[in-house]
Amino acid sequence: MSDLVEAVGPSHVLTDPETVAGYLTDWTGRWHGTALAVVRPADTAETSAVVRACARAGIAVCPQGGNTGLVGGSVPPVGVPSIVVSTSRLDWIDDVDVPGRAVGAGAGVTLARLQRSADAAGLACGVDLAARDSATVGGMVATNAGGINVVRYGAMRAQLLGVEAVLASGEVLRRWKPLRKDNVGYDLPGLLAGSEGTLAVITGVLLQLVHKPRRTATAIAAVENPAGALALAAAVEESGIVVRAAELMTRRGMDLIASYGHRRPFAEPPPYSLLIEGEAAGTDLAAALDAAGVVEAVLEEGSGADLWAVREAHTETIARDSSSPVVKLDVSVPLPALEDLIDAVDPVAAEYGARHIPFGHVADGNLHVNLLDVDPGRAAEVTDRVLRIVAGLGGSISAEHGVGRAKIPWLELSRSPADLAAMRTIKAALDPHGLLNPGVLFGVNSSRE
């Protein structure tokens, strides 16, 4: 502990149980850990000193950003001597490089702050998600976060130009050039994207920025089924409008969030709705919806904050309404299989006395399966049933939230033995003593649910 105090100063080694408690439970409330301390380094050099001290003492290092992750990866394990390394003080942000369309930021900078900075420079970040006020750019790289604009700009890895990170040895890896093309050997920043804190502590990220669209319009349109939602998104794109987001919602979801006082876009919610944001004037988006045969839609010129509020209310409202921690399964399937997935999960949910409220990034084939009211003792069993359905449809057990602690038992459903062996080899090479985030992505799942 004295090495840690020496590295970051006494006021940044937190051990008071009440203060530390907030770092030990994840956003879903399903995952809890224990830690010797929460340590808050101010820069990369201090982070390196912390990692070296932990390596000497055999103490695990668990990086944490905004703690908005949904798979239990952001909290430490139970019963393994660990510290949480909070990135909250890694909060510097460079001036935006306008001609280079890039910005460098400390890992602990929130997405909302980065967005404000980019916006002031006339640019935007290609990734956006509802947890923007708390999620950090370091955590978003570590999880390769997706969000609402993947259909337009790709996920976080696609925005990453460079990274600064502390390896398990304490050495600092820095690739920091705003180059769009740079093929000198392995893509190590790309490898750290999606590594979930198991290969390095990311201390800074260099992100590409995108041009802001000249105009946007947003609509929520009634559709009969997921195939109808996909066909509508395709029709809008084919009309010449660039689609920025295409989000599926269900009658069940709409009814639930309306019961909490949120806007009800339709007097009678249709079975499914598609929220679509396009780079177009409202009149053009309306014309495209008409041409596609849409009978009911509400449309807002611009970014459609009121309509987005309906979509973004889903996560919190579902969590609030469930009588037990929601079983959240973020999955993807080939586009034609989306409806089969929903149809197959419904009876499984009913068998477990659960309400199934799916929604998600439909154009990416990414559905968020939310099972409410599941008996916590049966959460693993119902997860198994759903993830096997996903695998049977040729899908992935994790589309954007990652593996964390929640999905380790099901890795084999999405990765072959050779693939998993290669991943373990990389882990062993970069973190031979298993110092970084033990129990996340691989190994014994030691956190309590």
Residues making contact with ligand FAD (CB under 6 A): 27, 62-70, 73-74, 87, 107, 129-131, 135-136, 138-140, 142-143, 145-147, 196-197, 201-202, 315, 400-401, 404, 437, 440
Binding site partner of 63, from ligand FAD, ligand MLT, none, Cβ cut-off 5-8 A by kind: ligand FAD
Distance separating alpha carbons of residues 367 and 332, to the nearest angstrom = 6
**Minimum distance from CB of 79 to ligand FAD (Å)?**
18
Per the listing, tokens 């299989």 go with 337
Are 247 and 232 contacting, i.e. CB atoms less than 8 angstroms apart?
no
Give the interface with ligand MLT as residue ranges (CB under 6 A): 130, 315, 328, 330, 368
Contact partner, 328, from ligand MLT, ligand FAD, none, Cβ < 5-8 Å per class: ligand MLT
Closest to ligand MLT by CB, 161 or 387: 387
Ranked by CB distance to ligand FAD, the top (closest) residue is: 139
Strand positions, DSSP E, 140-209: 160-167, 172-175, 200-208
Q: Which is nearer to ligand FAD, 178 or 197 (CB)?
A: 197
Q: Residue 7: which H helix or E strand, with range? A: helix 2-8
What token pair was written down for 381?
Answer: 């069993």
128 versus 300: smaller Cβ distance to ligand MLT: 128
Binding partner of residue 368 among ligand FAD, ligand MLT, none, CB cut-off 5 to 8 Å per kind: ligand MLT
C-alpha to C-alpha distance for 55 and 3, rounded to whole angstroms: 11
Q: Which is nearer to ligand MLT, 252 or 368 (CB)?
A: 368
Q: Give min distance, CB of 111 to ligand FAD, in A.
A: 8
> Which of ligand MLT, ligand FAD, none interacts with 87 (beta carbon under 5 to 8 A by kind)?
ligand FAD
d(CA 282, CA 276): 12
Cβ of residue 145: shortest distance to ligand MLT, in angstroms?
A: 9
Which residue stretches of 160-216 are H helix? 188-192
CA angle 154, 155, 161 (to 5 degrees): 90
Residue whose CB is less far from ligand MLT, 300 or 312: 312
Question: Nearest CA to 347 among 392, 398, 389?
Answer: 389
Q: Which does 202 bind (CB under 5 to 8 A by kind): ligand FAD, ligand MLT, none?
A: ligand FAD
| CB of residue 326 to ligand MLT, shortest distance in Å | 8
Closest chain position to ligand MLT (CB): 315
The runs of H, that is alpha helices, within 187-333 are 188-192, 226-238, 251-259, 282-291, 305-321
Q: What is the nearest approach in angstroms of ligand MLT to the Cβ of residue 248?
A: 10
Strand pairing class (60-64; 82-86):
parallel
Query: What's the min distance (Å) between Cβ of 274 and ligand MLT?
Result: 14
- 208 contacts which partner out of ligand FAD, ligand MLT, none, CB within 5 to 8 A by kind? none
* 361/275 Cα distance (integer angstroms): 10
Taking the mean position of all CA atoms in its chain, how far away is CA 382? 22
Taking the least distance from each CB to ligand FAD, the nearer of 63 and 228 is: 63
**Cβ at position 328, least distance to ligand MLT in Å:** 6
In the bound state with ligand FAD, the residue whose beta carbon lies nearer, of 288 and 406, is 406
Cα radius of gyration (the chain): 22
The CB-of-148 to ligand MLT minimum distance in angstroms stands at: 7
User: First CA to last CA across the chain, in angstroms?
Assistant: 28
Closest CA to 1 of 12, 11, 13: 13
DSSP code string of 56-83: HHT-EEEEESSS--SSSTTSPPSSS-EE
Tokens, residue 336: 């034609």
| Residue (292 or 440) nearer to ligand FAD, CB | 440
* Closest CB 440 distance from ligand FAD, rounded Å: 5
Q: Name which of ligand MLT, ligand FAD, none residue 67 binds, using a CB cut-off of 5 to 8 Å depending on partner kind.
A: ligand FAD
Given ligand FAD, ligand MLT, none, residue 209, with its beta carbon under 5 to 8 Å by kind, binds none
Q: What are phi and psi of 358, to 5 degrees?
A: -85, 155
Query: Largest alpha-carbon pair distance within the chain?
Result: 69
